[in-house]
């Protein structure tokens, strides 16, 4: 991928093909049970999502301040446009018989993003803002079965609503501003609509997914990584460029959201995007994917309600507060993002690895002064390598000193 074309709306290409060498952060990272034609790497430019016309009384709708035109596209006067992934449609599962029996609506042409189950609507009808659709996809992709149930949909929209309260110049996010759930039980499922434009919106910016900064381009293997192209184009000092524009802003916004709202954003390389201006200067780190764990005790202390379902760390997860903070910061931000950026800096520019870590650690402790009360002392926790039934997970003590705090 040539940097000069990034501004030309190539986000989808970056999502699909610029992830060579990025999926080795765990033994499960590259696994998928999804049929080849629906994987991001497929050569199919698009596929069709199935829609049915669902009665209003069978669908719950969740909203986080979506534009009216987006609501009107999915919520019709007489029915709801309910969207199903074709591979889910062809399977068996709860509510599917009822969904199959509903009248079909027009299909929606989409292409997959890096997460596979979140797709980009390619030609939304006139006036409908560009958006992604995150789907119920009961197949294992990397470690987890990608069901999207009532709880996941409710929480993603509730967290989106909550993030509107975060006031910081450096903080931006892709809102999961609409959610749809079919049926009335805990195992009900549905889809989310995620806007393509970050909130707050700034004109003329482009987005590069975190992993596409350092990964290889599957179709153009000789192109240098975009991060290297950015550094060269701007004539920047490599280590400071990454520390000041990516790592420290991400640490600051992650810590702010955790400390103020009790929301533990899972800011790994697929869940954050770097926003750049037309002159290629980095502007903000943009967050996505709000199906996350919550520290309800922090919210209680800060006088906030907790309008979420079953995602309180400790009581709902069976894992300690320390284990969650370590998993999310040490492993998702640290290992699944920063380690890759640092490895590229070392490979390409021979930077002093310890000096980079020290600057980020200092920024972390400035941003999270009481971190010792939340994090385990001299170790990190990560998923066990033993597969667990369903989406259960076990966190194990790595007996390794944290490298980014
Ligand atoms: N570099 C990467 N780091 C982490 N995950 C990646 C990366 N590249 C692709 N992925 C894929 O992205 C998904 C990450 O899981 P995660 O739960 O964050 O996303 P999701 O909830 O499925 O979708 P979304 O991020 O669109 O909300 C996995 O399917 C994983 O295989
Ligand atoms: Mg994600």
Q: Supply the pLDDT for residue 155.
A: 98
Q: Which CATH number is 255's domain given?
A: 1.10.510.40
Residues 199-224 have pLDDT tens digits of 999 999 999 999 999 999 999 999 99
- Beta strand 47-55 with 108-112: parallel, antiparallel or unpaired? antiparallel
Residue 201 lies in a domain: no
Residue 361 lies in a domain: yes
The strand ranges marked E within 143-271 are 144-146, 171-173, 176-182, 189-195, 206-209
Alpha-carbon distances of 124 from 107, 110, 323, 371, 401, rounded to whole Å: 11, 9, 42, 44, 48
Kindly report the protein residue whose alpha carbon is nearest to atom 26 of ligand 1.
118
Band of residue 5 on the pLDDT scale cut at 50, 70, 90: confident
Residue 215 lies in a domain: yes
Q: Is there an atom of ligand 1 within 6 Å of 115 CB?
A: yes
Least confident of 10-14, 50-54, 387-391: 387-391
Pocket test for ligand 1, best of 114, 141, 196, 209 (most atoms within 8 A of CB): 114
Q: Supply the pLDDT for residue 4.
A: 86
Q: What is the pTM of this model?
A: 0.97
Which element (helix H / strand E) includes 140? strand 137-141
Q: Supply the pLDDT for residue 124.
A: 83
Residues 172 and 220 in one domain: no
Residue 275 lies in a domain: yes
Element counts in the chain: helices (H) and strands (E): 13, 16
Burial class of residue 312, CB neighbours in 10 A (0-12, 13-18, 19+): middle
Residues 210 and 87 in one domain: no
Residues 185 and 256 in one domain: no
Separation of CA 238 and ligand 2 centre (Å): 27
Residues with CB under 5 A from ligand 2 (ion): 115, 270-271, 289
Indicate the DSSP class of residue 337: I
Indicate the DSSP class of residue 124: P
Q: Is 324 a residue whose pLDDT tops 80?
A: yes
194 bridge partner residues: 132, 176
Q: Is there an atom of ligand 1 within 6 Å of 19 CB?
A: yes
Burial class of residue 105, CB neighbours in 10 A (0-12, 13-18, 19+): middle
Q: Is there an atom of ligand 1 within 6 Å of 16 CB?
A: no
What does the pLDDT average to over 56-72? 98
Residue 16 lies in a domain: no
Residues 223 and 94 in one domain: no
Nearest to 20 by CA among 208, 307, 213, 194: 213
Band of residue 149 on the pLDDT scale cut at 50, 70, 90: very high
Band of residue 122 on the pLDDT scale cut at 50, 70, 90: very high
Residues 286 and 215 in one domain: yes
Residues 79 and 169 in one domain: yes
Q: Which domain holds residue 353?
A: 206-397
Q: Supply the pLDDT for residue 16.
A: 97
Residues 69 and 191 in one domain: yes
Residue ending a domain, among 195, 215, 245, is: 195
Alpha-carbon distances of 203 from 9, 15, 17, 198, rounded to whole Å: 14, 22, 26, 10
Q: Supply the pLDDT for residue 389.
A: 82
Alpha-carbon distances of 143 from 5, 27, 31, 140, 395, rounded to whole Å: 33, 9, 8, 7, 13
Report yes or no: 79 and 54 within 8 Å, Cβ to Cβ.
Answer: yes
Output the six-digit token pair for 87: 């591979």
Alpha-carbon distances of 27 from 208, 385, 387, rounded to whole Å: 25, 7, 11
Q: Is 123 a residue whose pLDDT tops 90?
A: no
Within 13 Å and on the Cβ side, how many CA atoms surround 265?
34
Residues 113 and 226 in one domain: no
Residues 162 and 225 in one domain: no
CB proximity list for 279: less than 8 A, separation 6 or greater: none
Residues 151 and 271 in one domain: no
Nearest to 160 by CA among 179, 176, 144: 176
Give the mean pLDDT of the chain.
Answer: 96
Domain count, the chain: 2
Output the six-digit token pair for 386: 């033993």
Residues 287 and 376 in one domain: yes
């Amino acid at each position: 991928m040539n940097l000069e074309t990034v501004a030309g709306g190539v986000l989808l290409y970056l999502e699909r093909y610029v992830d060579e060498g990025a999926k080795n952060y765990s033994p499960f990272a590259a696994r998928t049970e999804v049929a080849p034609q629906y994987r991001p790497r497929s050569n199919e430019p698009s596929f069709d999502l199935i829609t049915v016309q669902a009665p209003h009384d069978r669908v719950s709708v969740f909203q986080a301040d979506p534009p009216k035109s987006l609501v009107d596209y999915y919520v019709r006067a007489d029915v709801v446009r309910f969207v199903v992934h074709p591979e889910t449609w062809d399977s068996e599962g709860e509510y599917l018989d009822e969904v199959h029996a509903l009248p079909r609506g027009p299909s929606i042409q989409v292409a997959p993003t890096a997460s596979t189950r979140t797709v980009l609507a390619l030609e939304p009808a006139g006036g409908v803002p560009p958006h992604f659709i995150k789907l119920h996809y009961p197949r294992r992709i990397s470690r987890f079965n990608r069901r999207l149930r009532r709880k996941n949909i409710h929480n993603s929209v509730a967290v989106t609503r909550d993030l509107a309260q975060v006031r910081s110049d450096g903080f931006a996010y892709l809102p999961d501003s609409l959610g749809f759930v079919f049926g009335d039980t805990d195992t009900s499922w549905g889809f989310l609509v995620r806007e393509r434009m970050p909130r707050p919106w700034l004109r003329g910016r482009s987005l590069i997914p975190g992993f596409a900064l350092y990964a290889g381009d599957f179709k153009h293997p000789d192109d240098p990584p975009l991060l290297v192209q950015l550094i060269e184009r701007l004539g920047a000092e490599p280590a400071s460029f990454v520390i000041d524009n990516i790592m420290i802003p991400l640490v600051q916004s992650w810590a702010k959201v955790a400390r103020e709202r009790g929301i533990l954003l899972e800011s790994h390389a697929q869940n954050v995007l770097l926003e750049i201006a037309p002159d290629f200067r980095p502007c903000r780190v943009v967050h996505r994917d709000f199906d996350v764990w919550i520290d309800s005790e922090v919210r209680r202390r800060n006088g906030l309600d907790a309008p979420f379902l079953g995602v309180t760390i400790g009581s709902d997860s069976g894992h300690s507060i320390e284990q969650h903070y370590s998993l999310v910061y040490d492993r998702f931000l640290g290992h699944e993002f920063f380690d890759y950026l640092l490895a590229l800096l070392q490979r390409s520019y021979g930077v002093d690895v310890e000096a980079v870590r020290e600057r980020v650690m200092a920024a972390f402790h400035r941003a999270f002064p009481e971190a010792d009360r939340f994090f385990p002392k001299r170790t990190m926790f990560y998923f066990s390598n033993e597969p667990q039934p369903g989406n259960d997970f076990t966190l194990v003590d790595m007996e390794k000193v944290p490298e980014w705090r």
